[in-house]
Amino acid sequence: MSDADGASLPELVEVMRTLLGPDGCPWDRAQTLETLRPYVVEEAHEVVEAIDGGRAEPLREELGDLLFQIVFQAELARQKGWFGLDDVIRGIAAKMERRHPWVFGDEDATDPDDTLHRWEAQKAKEKQARGALGGVPVALPALLRALRVGEKAAAHGYDWPDAAGVRAKVEEELGELDAALAIEDVAAAEAELGDVLFALASLGRKRGLDPEAALRGTLERFSARFRHAEEAAEARGERLRDLDDDARDALWEAAKTALASGD
């Protein structure tokens, strides 16, 4: 597969400048950095969805949509006199070289964990004023933010020595959640539920599991099974809400079996 005959990044920039030009698209010309924020987030999530789908064409398309948002933002910034796309590209290239001295310099790296710790150490040097956790966007989905916060804290030695320690922490936090629920303290229960979720995210990190991806997978399976059961009930002229628990459970088990077999 070759990209030799395809469009290049400079051509995409020219398309963007035409869209933003005097005779361009009225909608595009009305946009600002702020109005484009939801589209950047949306396109990033669609890239993740395409990755989870495991198919090349949707991923190619969604990466293109995300790239378009990057070019769009960079061109609006250029119009403000801030920077252009070339500055963005040069900046990230220089950063990657600076943060990989074991590739572009004379240092040695032993394994992925070693390189991650050294990456975080180099990043901390560059952003001392922001603190070790300052680079984690607060707008990230909460489970993904928990994973990133845990990674950065671990790079500074704030971590359990092994997964068994985190697993014990999960049990401890579940006990505290149970205690808060028992006395019906809503505020305390919410705080303890957060602690449980953070501990579970940390357990996933220690075992090489992505909690965000894990929950997405569970939600996809649940949604597919629910829809299958819903359709089965509708085919009988019934609604799930009108069935008793045993009937709903039977439909659920049938959905699990059918979906597992690919029916």
CATH number at residue 77: 1.10.287.1080
pLDDT value of residue 94: 94
* Placement of tokens 């484009």 in the chain: 36
Question: Does residue 25 lie in a domain region?
Answer: yes
72: in domain: yes
225 falls within a domain: yes
Domain hosting residue 254, numbered range: 213-260
CB neighbourhood size of 254 (10 A): 15
CA dist 177 and 198 (Å) reads 13
Closest CA to 82 of 33, 40, 19: 33
pLDDT at 28: 96
Q: Is residue 197 in some structural domain?
A: no
Does residue 177 fall inside a structural domain? no
pLDDT the model gives residue 1: 45
- pLDDT at position 2: 43
For residues 225, 227, 233, 237, the Cα torsion angle rounded to the nearest 10 degrees is -170
Q: Could you say which of 59, 79, 97 is where a domain stops?
A: 97
- Residue 134: both structure tokens together: 């300052």
What tens-digit pLDDT sequence spans the chain (263 residues)?
A: 445 455 688 999 999 999 999 999 999 999 999 999 989 989 998 999 899 889 999 999 999 999 999 999 999 999 999 999 999 999 999 999 999 999 999 888 888 878 887 887 777 777 766 777 877 888 888 998 999 999 889 888 899 999 999 999 999 999 999 999 999 999 999 999 999 999 999 999 999 999 988 998 899 999 999 999 999 999 999 999 999 999 999 999 999 999 988 76
Quote the pLDDT of residue 5: 53
What does the block give as tokens for 18?
Answer: 């035409």
Looking at residue 229, its pLDDT comes to 95
In a domain, 84, yes or no: yes
pLDDT at 155: 81
pTM of the model: 0.65
Asked which of 66, 97, 128 is the last residue of a domain, the reply is 97
- Residue that finishes a domain, picked among 36, 67, 97: 97
Residue 71 lies in a domain: yes
Question: What is the C-alpha separation between 18 and 115, in angstroms, rounded?
Answer: 43
17-24 long-range contacts, CB within 8 A, separation 24+: 17/75, 20/75, 20/76, 20/79
Classify 261 as helix, strand or coil.
Answer: coil
- 230 assigned to some structural domain: yes
Cβ atoms of 33 and 73 closer than 8 Å: yes
How many domains, in total, are found in the chain?
A: 2
